[in-house]
Structure 1
Amino acid sequence: MECKINNISINYEEIGEGKPIIMLHGFSPDHRLMIGCMEPIFRSRDGYRRIYIDLPGMGKSESAEGIINADAMLDIIIEFINKIIPDENFILVGESYGGYLSRGIIYKMADRVEGLLLTCPVIIADYNKRTVPEPIVLINDQELLHGLTPEEVEDFSSMAVVQSKHIYERYKNEIVAGIKLADNIFLERFKENGYGFSFDVDKLGRNFTKPVLLLLGRQDSIVGYEDAWNILRNFTRATFAVLDRAGHNLQIEQEELHNSLVSEWLNRVDEIEQFKDQELLSKKEK
């Protein structure tokens, strides 16, 4: 599907009906990353309208010279939300850089967000200032690697903490396939001009009180896990989970645990909605 924002074509996919969930992927891939890890959870859940976006310059969404920094990209996303679901509250999911942008949405319009999931979120925009562990491969699959090209081996090994055929197939289909569509000239310029916000995105005027889940990989050498502890104070209803045997592709390497924790988080979000419905019914009966 296509949505025009400031003459920029934003590609997105919708699945299901009900409570809107906005899904934001990381830097360079496309919405297939989020579909791959989130749709299996909704096989046994009804009542959600999942909205998967391709961020500007990624996937099939257009880039633009005017999107010079994170502030401008955030403005595009907020305009997209206001156009697609103008009068509705929504649930928010962000992975990696999408987790950074998601906190920008919380900063700007927290009152409309009913739950927040951050998977391996970028906490500190400047890579050189992040606290990250050294890259490590915990489970090596030589048989798999022998069947790949040297370029594929180098690419996969630079990210994978756990190597297996299943993990590689998901990595190739959900991440690499999207990266191949990215506008690399735009992304390089974007990184140079303003990958980080001009404001302190984690300095909120008041705490976010809706259910939150922060998922971090213990072996994530891209964004790390330690820096995320510093934003926990902003979220009064947060589960903070650091998963062993997981790097920056936590949703693939710890698939079962990821799905279980996300399902529990959705239960907590639903619980609040059910409580509000009960309150409304009680007021009508009076």
Structure 2
Amino acid sequence: MECKIKNVSINYEIIGEGKPIVMLHGYYLEHRMMAGCMEPVFSDKDGYKRIYLDLPGMGKSEGAEWIKSSDDMLDILISFIDKIIPNENFLLAGQSYGGYLARGIIHKMADRIDGMLLICPLIIPDHKKRRVEENVVLLKDDKLLSKLPEEDAEDLNYAFVVQSKRIYERWKNELMPGFDMADGDFLQRIQQNGYGFSFDVDKADKKVDKPVLILLGKQDICVGYKDAWNILENFPRATFSILDRAGHQLHIEQEKLFNSLINDWLVRVKEA
């Protein structure tokens, strides 16, 4: 489906009916990343309206010359939410950069959010200031690597702590399409000129007393896990989990544990 926000076409997909959950993917990706990790959790559940969208300049959503910063991205997201689910409370889920934008949304409209999920959230926009881990592969699949094109093998060694045929297939089907479709020039301009919000997104006026789940990879070389401790005090109802044998794509590397923790979060939201 398509939604026009400030003359920018936003591509999105809605699955199911009931409590809205807005799903925000990471930088250079698109909505299939979030659908790939979240839809298996909802395969046996009713009562949830999952709203997957492509962020501007990613997937099938347009970029625009006037979108120069994460502040602009946030304004578009808030307008999108107001148009698609006006006056409704909702749940919010974000991965990596999507987790940064999710905190921006909760900063602006916390009264409408009944729960939040952060998957390997971006905490510090400036990569040089992040405390990240060194690249390591803890479970290597040499047989698989020997059958792959050299470029794919190199990417798998860099992007994943755990290797398997299923992980490789999910990477190709859920993540790589986003990299192929992204408007690189548009996204690089934002990274260079306005990747961080103009305000301190984690300086909260009041604590968010709603069920929250924060998931981090112990071997994450992109955003790390240590900087996320700094936001924990904002969420007194948060489960904070650091998963071993997991990097920036922990939802793929630790699929069963990921699904279990999401299920627990949904129960906590429902019973809140």
Tell me, what secondary structure is at the counterpart of 2:43?
A: helix
The aligned residue for residue 124 of structure 1 is 124
SS of equivalent residue, structure 1 residue 180: helix
> Equivalent residues in 2 for 1:146-161 (5 A)?
146-161=146-161
Residue 247 of structure 1, CA deviation: 0.2
Rounded to whole Å, the distance in 2 between the matches of 1:15 and 1:165 is: 28
**TM superposition outliers: structure 1 runs of 4+ over 6 Å:** none
**Partner Cα distance (1:217, 1:49) in 2:** 28
Determine whether 1:115 maps to 2:115.
yes
For 1:231, the equivalent position in structure 2 comes to: 231
Trace 1:58-137 onto structure 2 (pairs within 5 A). Answer: 58-137=58-137
Q: Which residue of 2 aligns with 1:222?
A: 222
Counterpart Cα distance in 2 of 1:2 and 1:69: 22
- Structure 1, unpaired ranges of 5+: 273-286
CA RMSD in angstroms comes to 0.6
Larger gyration radius, structure 1 or structure 2: 1
Output the TM-score relative to the length of structure 2: 0.99
Query: Which ranges of structure 2 fall in alignment gaps of 5 or more residues?
Result: none
What are the equivalent positions in structure 2 for 1:236-251 lying under 5 Å apart?
Answer: 236-251=236-251
Aligned pair count reads 272
Give the distance between the partners of 1:100 and 1:16, measured in 2 at CA. Answer: 26
Give the deviation of 1:190 after TM superposition.
1.2
Quote the Cα distance in structure 1 between the aligned partners of 2:258 and 2:115: 17
After superposition, the C-alpha distances for 1:184-216 in whole angstroms (9 at most, x for unaligned) are 111111111111101100001100000000000
- 1:200-211 aligned at under 5 Å gives the runs 200-211=200-211
Deviation at 1:152, TM superposition (A): 1.2
Tell me the secondary structure at the aligned position of residue 140 of structure 2.
Answer: coil
- Identical-pair percentage: 64
Mapped to 1, the partners of 2:219 and 2:18 lie a distance apart of 36
TM-score (norm 1): 0.94
Question: Separation in 2 of the partners of 1:189 and 1:89?
Answer: 33
